[in-house]
Amino acid sequence: MADVLTQARAEAARRGWTAPAGAVSYASLYGVYVVTFFEPGGDHGAAGVGPPALYFDSADARYLGDRVPWQGTAGDIFLQVQFPLHSGRIAGIPGRILISCLGLVVALLSTTGVVIWWQKRSASMVIASRASRKALASPPTTPAPAPAHVHARTLEAEPLSEAELR
């Protein structure tokens, strides 16, 4: 690991990075050392996208690659900005406050939506219960005959005669 740290510091100096090596981690699943460069307390990097990192092979300390914030393809930058955007870190303290308030708004809207749904559901159940009790209590009625000027088959009205209009 000492070789990795020495090589990482040399590579960072070659790139002009002024931050010291802030952390060294080992990804055992891949056999890779990761050296990240940041000042104390700056482990979230520029606008929260993370600090620059160098990757080295654990077998021979060979340089494998890097991760530099705000650099790469459009897809790389899109992925880098997801955490800072959704945590509010991209806009500092005001961004965190805004994201917190938006989280409360989502919780409030969800709660009020459930309350309104529950009230409507309860009301419709009461109406249905009353209607079924009323239907059971009253005898069935026969429908009233249709007026003479309405055809039963088409239910279209004929013009009224002079006598019917009086």
Mean pLDDT of the region 140-147: 66
Q: What is the DSSP letter of 49?
A: S
pLDDT, position 15: 93
pLDDT band with cut points at 50, 70 and 90 for residue 113: very high
Q: How far apart are CA 35 and CA 15, in angstroms?
A: 14
**Contact indicator for 4, 25 with CB cutoff of 8 Å:** no
Kindly compute the dihedral angle of the four CA atoms of residues 80, 84, 86, 91, in this order, to the nearest 10 degrees.
-140
Q: Domains in the chain: how many in total? A: 2
Tell me the pTM.
0.55
Mean pLDDT of the region 46-68: 87
Residue 34 domain-assigned (yes or no): yes
Residue 156: is its pLDDT beyond 90?
Answer: no
Residue 146 domain-assigned (yes or no): no
For the ranges 29-43, 109-123, 152-166, the lowest mean pLDDT is seen at: 152-166
- Asked if 104 and 41 sit in the same domain, the reply is no
- Asked if 100 and 75 sit in the same domain, the reply is no
Q: How far apart are CA 48 and CA 93, in angstroms?
A: 12
H or E element: which one contains 99?
Answer: helix 92-137
- Asked if 8 and 83 sit in the same domain, the reply is yes
- Alpha carbon of residue 4 to chain centroid: 39
Burial of 51: CB neighbours in 10 Å, binned 0-12, 13-18, 19+: buried
SS (H, E, C) 110-146: HHHHHHHHHHHHHHHHHHHHHHHHHHHHCCCCCCCCC
- Asked if 66 and 100 sit in the same domain, the reply is no
Residue 24: is its pLDDT beyond 90?
Answer: yes
- Asked if 10 and 71 sit in the same domain, the reply is yes
pLDDT, position 57: 93
Q: Considering all CA atoms of the chain, what is the largest pairwise distance in Å, rounded to the nearest integer?
A: 114
Tokens of 11: 């590579």
Residue 142 domain-assigned (yes or no): no
